[in-house]
Structure 1
Amino acid sequence: MDDQPLPTAWSFVRALKMSKRWILHEFETLLSHRELAHMTVLQFDGHGLGDPGLQALAKTTNLPKLQTLRLRHNDIHGPGLVDFAASKHFPDLRELSLKGNELGDEGITEFVESPHFPALRTLDLGMNILTPSTLSALFASAHRDSLCALDLSRNGLEDHALCGLTTSHRLPSLTHLTLSYNTFCETVFEDLVESQQLQTLTHLKAHGNLLNTKATKTLANSVTANRLQHLHLGHNHIDDEGAIALFTSPHLTSLTHLDLSYNPLTSESIKVLLRSPLLAQLDEILLVAPSIDVDILESLLSHPALRPHARQRLFEVQPEQQLQSWAKKHNITFTRHTKKAELAKQLCASH
């Protein structure tokens, strides 16, 4: 990109998402144009802009209406975020995604303690090797009261990482929390309950951890879990006892989406689900476990309390070989070219 003014049409552009790899000079040149004044969305993922790119962005005054900024996988480290945190040019920023960088304690601490982003609602810090001290700074910040969604996935976090929540009470608006693909095991939900943070959450994603029955029971037995609508606990170590605690909990009255895929469940917990009032309130339940008896699983799929969309989604996540077996049983014609989604749809219609 040269230094010539952008075409007049650029003044009407509201969102810019670049897929090709830009070099730093091109990015800096773009930021120098006043025609970007009405831009609200800027997405430059995987461009290797590094700290100089974020520092250039921090200096520009040509994006006063920017609301969404996504700079994922850009080799950004602490210095760039420190400068961005000091910038006063983005008062309307609502979403910031910095997934897949190496931001460091100093950069994140400076940002979360910055008073210059009062409108921030969504913060994605996934894949940044966060430390407990960094999270403590986030939880204690007096400037993140408006934060509604926080992504801490893929950071190698352990149970003690969220203990700062128990003394902060600084995220009163948080409704969406993503903790996926860390190494949380037993006490992570204890911290959520003790901090009273659980009572604000409507969406909790914690798949791909080491969560066990104790953790699941803590969640199921909490009276503050009554606002949870989406609960994703797939790919953990939750057994029948933990699943039954969820299925029989009197507190999950708002739950509409439940994912327990690829946990070591057996038919025993599914039998309890078949008798649970929870089944009728779910719009989606995802269960994939080799130890569940096929006949019990089909009983679930045929249950009159199971909502149509939930039945469709449950069929869709089953192994294709199992779908073909059921199709033969119900005389549903298919070929090796029949797509899995179409086969699931036909099976759903037959149940």
Structure 2
Amino acid sequence: MYTAPVDDYGIDRILAGPPSKIAFRALCAAVDRAGNAPELIARCDQGLAAWPDSVREAPWSWYAMATLGHSKATWPLVRSLDIRTQRCQMLDPPFPDPRAQPEVRQVTSVVAGWSPTRRSSLAAITDSLAHWPDLRAVGVEFLSEHDDEQVARFADHEAATRLESLSLLDLGDSLLHSGLPTFRPPAGRPWRLRHVAVSGADLAYLLRSGLVPDLRSADVLVRDLDEARGLAARPELAQLERLGIGSRCGWNGESPLWEPFAGNVIEQDDDACAAFFAAADLSGLRELVVRGVELVLGRVGLGARGVEAIVACGVLGRMTALTLELLPIHDPTIALVVGSLDHQRVESLTLADLVATDRTAAAFAAAGAFPRLRHLDLSRNNLDALGAALLATEVDLPVLEHLDLSGRGVVGSYYGNAVQPIGDKGVSAWANSRNTRNLTTVKVSLCGLGVEGITALLTSTTLPALTTLNITGNLCSGWPAALRDAPVWRTLRTLDLTGTGFDGEEISALVLTAEAPELRSVLLDYNSVGSGAALAQWPLLPQLWELSLHDTAIDDDGLRALAVSGAARSLLELDLEQDCSNRSARHTPLPPEVIERSAFPSLDTIFLGIVDEYHGARYRSGFTTAIRERLTADPTTRPELLAYLVHLDLEELNDDAEWETKVPETDPRAQRLTNHRMGIERAREFIRHLHT
């Protein structure tokens, strides 16, 4: 009988805590450190029974290691598998076959992504489908009309009828460069599908043929007016409880590259939307998602006329959850939407990446109260301090748990983004709001904040339940030492400091915090940590599952300190990738101590080298060619590193090139401050433009 003191590894505490993907990985790492006894794995399996299968996910690296003969003992705990690397010039491994790889036989959900062998992914799923006894959900990305033959073979497979979820498209697809595959299973053999993501024409076929009697959720892309009318004519739409819809009936991708931009209205999308919602029976619907397409700094899709047609059909009054995203609509239309909701019923509201200003916040204030609203996302809009304050003080949100007021863009040093300039005054209003007592998640990324606003949040006494705080892209230079004992540390689990201008001085102040019992994730991407020695001595480091350092400047001594201190024993992922535009990027091989098996003993994923995030390229692996080839051939190389090295796309790799050291042309701190101020002023100028 297994009698090891598992509490020493935190296993019971993880099982008793909130379920998440990173918590599942941490549990498996703890089981591994505890010795992987079969009795312990079986007990964990029982403890995980209440966790959703979606969070019991094996990341890409686990499967990549397994294909190389390094299978983890905790695979029996896995229920979901995602084999997408989603990294610059990294290759996906071949799709698994349960007959040859018993690790995956208990998986219930699998997602295959982009790779040079993408076209064989669906074929591989079809070939092995009968041998996945528990598989209930399949997702395949980037399929097009060129994959019709594969899709047809899959649709004809008897074992496919066991699936409960099938995604053959993404609701954010633009269809600019390709069409959609055709999914038409043979009639007479009903499927168990409860969710499907297909074209509007294919959904109409599925409903008309009686193949999906249990269908309750669908994501569809509608490509023309006739398709919209054909789908709307299906009375079986009344069985849907959730519908995600995107009109892709036209295209106008014209957009200024670096200036704020409202977007392009597509008249054909408005026509299709109006036709669909005027005729469709959506009497069972409780959740609606309507999504356009992202441009560089704007959006393209249906406009006011299309959204007004949705309002006119009366469906919004029945919604418990509504998402409108990436639509070029303005305050009057958004206010119409807010006014059409049943404020006593709605529980989740996302009005993101529209063209909302403080006038939309005034519409919320006019509504007064949303007694059941738990999730509010007004991110990637154009609210100012007044709008944020109106939401905080003039709207009654007694059960609100999730608030997102973030700006728009990639939080880094090199690429464009758009601030939502609520500023210190706006966020301070929320720090003192009566609406914060149940908040668990606050996201104020790219909001034009300075230290004053961030201090107000961290020292607030009205956030007793806060677990996740995202302040990325705001200027935190001069992190106050007084924040060491801020109240939110008592409950905070995740702190995202990506691109906040951190340097050695701010790191030294951050690590003064010695008590934060729930903290598990700290993200420091796109910053500088100076020598890194302070991080290695941080009292909280041993409890962290995540310390993200993507594109963060850290010298060799700092990396060695982190590797040999033994304090980073719970870290799951080592991400030391740096962008080629970073003037502090590493162009020399990593210190050998960093990749020793004894360093970072819980790691399950490693990413290194120099990448070009703008072009999606990879120029260096993190080692010279000789070292890389030696490590790849060495049987003692740690499996996590081997998975990374073996799946590099070598096409543009040039590990032995001479690189010139880049000296910053201006003081980095002064430049960050200038960029910060310019971003705020540009956002406010755009708001003034919208109001003229």
Same fold (TM over 0.5): yes
Please give the residue correspondences for 1:1-351 in structure 2 after superposition, counting only pairs within 5 Å: 1=335, 6-8=340-342, 11-33=345-367, 36-73=370-407, 74-134=420-480, 136-186=481-531, 188=532, 190-235=533-578, 236-237=585-586, 239-242=588-591, 244-262=592-610, 264-270=622-628, 271-272=630-631, 274-275=633-634, 277=636, 279-280=638-639, 282=640, 285-286=643-644, 301=646, 314-315=647-648, 318=649
Q: 1:173 to 1:9 in 2, by over 3 A?
A: closer
Q: 1:259 to 1:217 in 2, by over 3 A?
A: same
Once the 2 structures are TM-superposed, how far is the Cα of residue 137 of structure 1 from its aligned partner? 3.9
Unmatched 5+ residue regions in structure 2? 1-334, 408-419, 579-584, 611-619, 654-692
Once the 2 structures are TM-superposed, how far is the Cα of residue 114 of structure 1 from its aligned partner? 0.7
Once the 2 structures are TM-superposed, how far is the Cα of residue 98 of structure 1 from its aligned partner? 0.9
Contact residue 259 and residue 285 of structure 1 kept, 8 A: no
Contact residue 357 and residue 384 of structure 2 kept, 8 A: no
Q: 1:279 to 1:125 in 2, by over 3 A?
A: same
Contact residue 68 and residue 96 of structure 1 kept, 8 A: yes
Counterpart amino acid of 2:351? K
Q: 1:319 to 1:24 in 2, by over 3 A?
A: farther
Q: Which has the larger radius of gyration?
A: 2
Calculate the TM-score normalised by the size of structure 1.
0.74
Distance 2:342 2:428 in 1: 34
Counterpart amino acid of 2:608? L
Contact residue 502 and residue 528 of structure 2 kept, 8 A: yes
Distance 2:521 2:338 in 1: 43
SS at match of 1:240: coil
Residues 22-57 of structure 1: per-residue CA shift (max 9 Å, x gap): 131222212443563222221112322111111111
Once the 2 structures are TM-superposed, how far is the Cα of residue 213 of structure 1 from its aligned partner? 1.8
Q: 1:138 to 1:231 in 2, by over 3 A?
A: farther
Q: 1:88 to 1:170 in 2, by over 3 A?
A: farther
Contact residue 524 and residue 550 of structure 2 kept, 8 A: yes
Contact residue 536 and residue 565 of structure 2 kept, 8 A: yes
Distance 1:97 1:146 in 2: 16
Distance 2:469 2:627 in 1: 36
Once the 2 structures are TM-superposed, how far is the Cα of residue 143 of structure 1 from its aligned partner? 3.2
Counterpart amino acid of 2:496? D
Counterpart amino acid of 2:638? L
Distance 2:510 2:565 in 1: 17
Contact residue 512 and residue 538 of structure 2 kept, 8 A: yes
Q: 1:101 to 1:11 in 2, by over 3 A?
A: same
Give the structure 2 partner of residue 340 of structure 1.
none
Counterpart amino acid of 1:279? R
Distance 1:319 1:9 in 2: 55
Residues 73-96 of structure 1: per-residue CA shift (max 9 Å, x gap): 211211122221111222111111
Residues 91-116 of structure 1: per-residue CA shift (max 9 Å, x gap): 11111111112222222212211111
SS at match of 2:567: helix
Contact residue 185 and residue 209 of structure 1 kept, 8 A: no
Q: 1:142 to 1:88 in 2, by over 3 A?
A: same
Once the 2 structures are TM-superposed, how far is the Cα of residue 139 of structure 1 from its aligned partner? 3.1
Calculate the TM-score normalised by the size of structure 2.
0.39
Aligned residues with identical type, % of pairs: 20
Distance 1:268 1:57 in 2: 59
Distance 2:600 2:633 in 1: 16
Contact residue 226 and residue 254 of structure 1 kept, 8 A: yes
Distance 2:535 2:396 in 1: 41
Unmatched 5+ residue regions in structure 1? 287-299, 302-313, 323-351
Once the 2 structures are TM-superposed, how far is the Cα of residue 153 of structure 1 from its aligned partner? 1.4
Contact residue 21 and residue 47 of structure 1 kept, 8 A: yes
Contact residue 233 and residue 261 of structure 1 kept, 8 A: yes
Q: How many residues align?
A: 290
Q: 1:161 to 1:94 in 2, by over 3 A?
A: same
Once the 2 structures are TM-superposed, how far is the Cα of residue 63 of structure 1 from its aligned partner? 1.7
Counterpart amino acid of 1:208? D
